Amino acid sequence: MRKMLAAVSRVLSGAAQKPASRVLVASRNFANDATFEIKKCDLHRLEEGPPVTTVLTREDGLKYYKMMQTVRRMELKADQLYKQKIIRGFCHLCDGQEACCVGLEAGINPTDHLITAYRAHGFTYTRGLPVREILAELTGRRGGCAKGKGGSMHMYARNFYGGNGIVGAQVPLGAGIALACKYNGKDEVCLTLYGDGAANQGQIFEAYNMAALWKLPCIFICENNRYGMGTSVERAAASTDYYKRGDFIPGLRVDGMDVLCVREATKFAAAHCRSGKGPILMELQTYRYHGHSMSDPGVSYRTREEIQEVRSKSDPIMLLKDRMVNSNLASVEELKEIDVEVRKEIEDAAQFATADPEPPLEELGYHIYSNDPPFEVRGANQWIKFKSVS
């Protein structure tokens, strides 16, 4: 009995001692930064590409790790909530592609602009929205970033233009944002993302032409996760060298599972655009663990072995963790603590997203137009009237 009490008290005091042990960890001698070699990028119409070595500081490393872990856990939580039918509709998860969203954000400034397609939860987070607003938007509650009216595919934040459901439609938009950047003269760039499936849409090529013609500071980014829904790239595209598809636009092919590679490539591309040379195309070779959406098991067009192989050899979080631990930038325990923190944050966010009330019914008619006097929305019959207020 005594021994048990002692054991219990040790456990409890262990919990209380956590701050003390964190101090202990921090006082361990970590390196401030480390230099890593990264994969060379394939180039198209470029004399030289991004550097093949990069310096990662401890601070940055921890930041990227936390961000990627948050995105991963957030997506897995969304998966769970979807299976519990708390999230309905469509839900496209990006776990496996964390290095893309975190790496891109690391290579640009918060004042730069970003637009992407429907696999947008990760970008919504890296562009600055808290997890609770993202999850609340997925569950369709008023605390969501689009007040519950957009859902999974329509999330927006400052300098983040969504979240677009129609495949390929966001690319001409991105070119337009780039035009505004050039016009405003504030040295900003626009990252315009699309997938390997969308790369075959006609409007993408229209956007390429305009961007190149007018030298717009637009970075076209093809997130190639090898499958357009259920169609592998070989069966959809005559040329799977997506970085070359811009033809007259210079391009580079980047290892999208390595956050440092993505970061360096983004910095390179942003510098290219900011110097007035016009658009540039980046192909990020990445992978998604989930199927196309929650209604796709993801194993009818690819083998479980393939998914397992990518998970064990190229998982972005694992790659960063290994690098940091092996070069003494962080310890395994420290990273585990970050994991625990992240888990808690996600749990709280999920709690909020489940408990928050749905938007009020009046909002069904809101924000159709921008108009001064609210007008009545024409509808089903003359008894239920909704006003459009903006």
**Which residues contribute to the site for other proteins (CB under 8 A)?**
84-86, 88-90, 140-141, 148-151, 153-154, 165-168, 197-198, 200-203, 228-231, 235-237, 300, 354-359, 361, 363-365, 368, 377-384, 386, 388
CB of 295 to other proteins, least distance (A): 9
* Residue with smaller CB distance to other proteins, 296 or 339: 296
CB of 201 to other proteins, least distance (A): 5
* Residue with smaller CB distance to other proteins, 135 or 330: 135
CB of 236 to other proteins, least distance (A): 5
Number of helices (H), then strands (E), in the chain: 13, 12
Give CA–CA dist 131/137, Å, rounded. Answer: 10
* Residue with smaller CB distance to other proteins, 30 or 194: 194
Give every CB contact of residue 217 below 8 A, 6+ residues apart in sequence: 178, 181, 182, 188, 189, 190, 273, 274, 276, 278, 279
CB of 377 to other proteins, least distance (A): 5
CB of 217 to other proteins, least distance (A): 27
CB of 2 to other proteins, least distance (A): 42
Cβ atoms within 10 A of the Cβ of 220, count? 30
* Residue with smaller CB distance to other proteins, 198 or 307: 198
Helix then strand then coil, in percent of the chain rounded to 5, is 45, 15, 40
Q: What are the residue ranges of helices labelled H in the chain? A: 2-16, 18-26, 58-83, 98-107, 121-126, 131-138, 170-184, 202-213, 233-236, 259-274, 304-313, 316-326, 332-355
* Residue with smaller CB distance to other proteins, 64 or 243: 243
CB of 355 to other proteins, least distance (A): 7
* Residue with smaller CB distance to other proteins, 7 or 384: 384
* Residue with smaller CB distance to other proteins, 215 or 302: 302
Give CA–CA dist 110/126, Å, rounded. Answer: 10
Cβ atoms within 10 A of the Cβ of 333, count? 13
Nearest residue to 155 via CA among 128, 131, 134, 177: 134
Give CA–CA dist 119/121, Å, rounded. Answer: 6
* Residue with smaller CB distance to other proteins, 98 or 196: 196
Question: What would the two tokens of residue 68 be?
Answer: 């990627």
CB of 306 to other proteins, least distance (A): 18
Work out the widest C-alpha separation in the chain, in whole angstroms: 81
264, 270, 276, 280 alpha-carbon torsion, rounded to 10°: 80
